[in-house]
Amino acid sequence: MEILDGIHYVGVNDRTKHLFENQWPLPYGVAYNSYLIVDEKVALVDTVDISYCDVFFEKIDAILGGKKVDYLIVNHMEPDHSGSIRVLRQKYPDVKIVGNAKTFTMIKGYFGIEDGLVEVKDGDTLSLGSTLLSFYLTPMVHWPETMVTYDAKRKVLFSGDAFGCFGALNGGCLDSTMNLDKFWSEMRRYYACIVGKYGSPVQKALAKLKDVPLDYICSTHGPVWHDNIGKVVGLYDRWSRYESEPGAVVVYGSMYGNTEQMAEAVARGIVAGGVKNVVVYNASMTDASFILSDVFKYSALVVGSPTYMNELFPCIESLLQKVTRRDVKSKIFGMFGSASWAGVSVKRMTEMVEKYNWTQVGSVENLHGVKLSKIEECEGLGKQIALEILKNK
């Protein structure tokens, strides 16, 4: 697929892998995007997961015929993009590999490649003929060596993971040629799971690139953005500032239904308080990535957990760890918990979130079966949460 004159999409679709990074479900698959720039010199921007290197090189051969790849530009070293570098070097022994100092530490470490490296620093350029590529270092979007590559002639940004989505590409690669419905939520889930911890580096990268004119954004995953550039840049700006919309995620673990009844009551309270955006999740049923995605979307988080072996219910502990490790900011937060003898779940949740500057609204604790008075307390907690959400609208 030729995106623009001289820029070809040579990425691949993976509809086989169940879990990205062996942890995040891929209900719609995932694409590993790579781009071939054909000028007097030929440059390849990133490679693909090693499992797909045969298909990948067939695509490149079909475009180049007998011509060689002169440069490989490594925007990102995570193996979903760097996985085919060793094979590329075997196929094109003279290929020069372009990256920064941190890229090369990783290339040596992963592939033992130490020669034919062209080191670039922030703002450096590389001429392919009529195409002049510029490089901008964008560390921690998503790894320390991450950089982006810009083609000023065509106003194309090769952005690495930034602006990427889960979801394989179904016949097209340009956003203007496809139905994007599923990609918006998959983009947020990708951001929350993969990039979500690095809000501050994303902000720095956006600031660095703010005056760069963009006609196309070529990410390493998901659609090539052309019609929606303003939207995707705006979304990244919001998410990396941890800005959310008014609404609540109520998530619970429950062994025998008591904590679940409390969750239902909390949710009723939030809705009774005038908030329409309420999503309730059973953390034992829904994969954490989908919950995490909505935690980034909505302003309030209310968590319920039984006490289990004198700790939190395991899936709730794991979920809260995922949220806090991403330094999610500005949450309106409430808790509820139940127990059969010594209840510690609310105490444990308090300990987990205490260093975060969240707005703590309150908590409800229950022992044994849920009594009407506790249901009313939970509805009351929900109404308090709603008040906070509407206050911060």
- Which range, of 46-54, 75-83, 208-216, 354-362, touches ligand FEO by CB under 6 A? 75-83
Q: Does 78 bind ligand FEO (CB under 6 A)?
A: yes
Min separation Cβ 79 and ligand FEO, Å: 8
> 161 vs 379, which CB is nearer to ligand FEO?
161
Return the residue of 8, 59, 81, 226 that touches ligand FEO, per CB under 6 A: 81
Three state DSSP letters for the chain = CEEECCEEECCEEECCCCEECCCEECCCCEEECCEEEECCCEEEECCCCHHHHHHHHHHHHHHHCCCCCCEEECCCCCHHHHCCHHHHHHHCCCCEEEECHHHHHHHHHHHCCCCCEEECCCCCEEECCCCEEEEEECCCCCCCCCEEEEECCCCEEEEECCCCCCECCCCCCEHHHCCCHHHHHHHHHHHHHHHHHHHHHHHHHHHHCCCCCCCEEEECCCCEECCCHHHHHHHHHHHHCCCCEEEEEEEECCCCCHHHHHHHHHHHHHHHCCCCCEEEEECCCCCHHHHHHHHHHEEEEEEEEEEECCEECHHHHHHHHHHHHCCCCCCEEEEEEEECCCCCHHHHHHHHHCCCCCEEEEEEEEECCCCHHHHHHHHHHHHHHHHHHHHCC
Closer to ligand FEO by Cβ: residue 201 or 246: 201
Interface segment toward ligand FEO; rule CB under 6 A; list 78-86, 226-234, 298-306, 339-347: 78-86
Shortest Cβ 61–ligand FEO spacing (Å): 24
* Closest residue to ligand FEO, based on beta-carbon distance: 78
Structural element, H or E, at residue 26: none
* Nearer to ligand FEO (CB atom), residue 189 or residue 221: 221
CB nearer to ligand FEO: pick between 109 and 129: 109
Q: How far is the CB of 20 from ligand FEO (least distance, A)?
A: 8
Count, residues near ligand FEO per rule CB under 6 A: 8
Of 14, 39, 49, 80, the one binding ligand FEO by CB under 6 A: 80
CB nearer to ligand FEO: pick between 8 and 142: 142
Q: Which is closer to ligand FEO, CB of 78 or CB of 317?
A: 78
> Closest separation between CB of residue 229 and ligand FEO, Å?
20
Per CB under 6 A, which of residues 147..166 are in contact with ligand FEO?
Answer: 161
Name the residue nearer to ligand FEO (CB basis): 15 or 68: 15
- Shortest gap between Cβ of 81 and ligand FEO (angstroms)? 6
Of 76, 226, 326, 331, the one binding ligand FEO (CB under 6 A) is 76
- In contact, 192 and 296? CB cutoff 8 Å: yes
Here's the x/- map for ligand FEO, 86-125, by CB under 6 A: it reads as: ----------------------------------------
Q: Considering the rule CB under 6 A, would residue 220 count as an interface residue with ligand FEO? A: yes
What are the tokens at 170? 């179904």
Closest CA to 279 of 301, 304, 257: 301
Using the rule CB under 6 A, is 142 a contact of ligand FEO? Answer: yes
Nearer residue to ligand FEO within complex by CB, 81 or 89: 81
Q: Tell me how far apart the alpha carbons of residues 45 and 75 are, in angstroms, rounded to a whole number.
A: 7
- Where along the sequence are the contacts to ligand FEO (CB under 6 A)? 76, 78, 80-81, 142, 161, 220-221
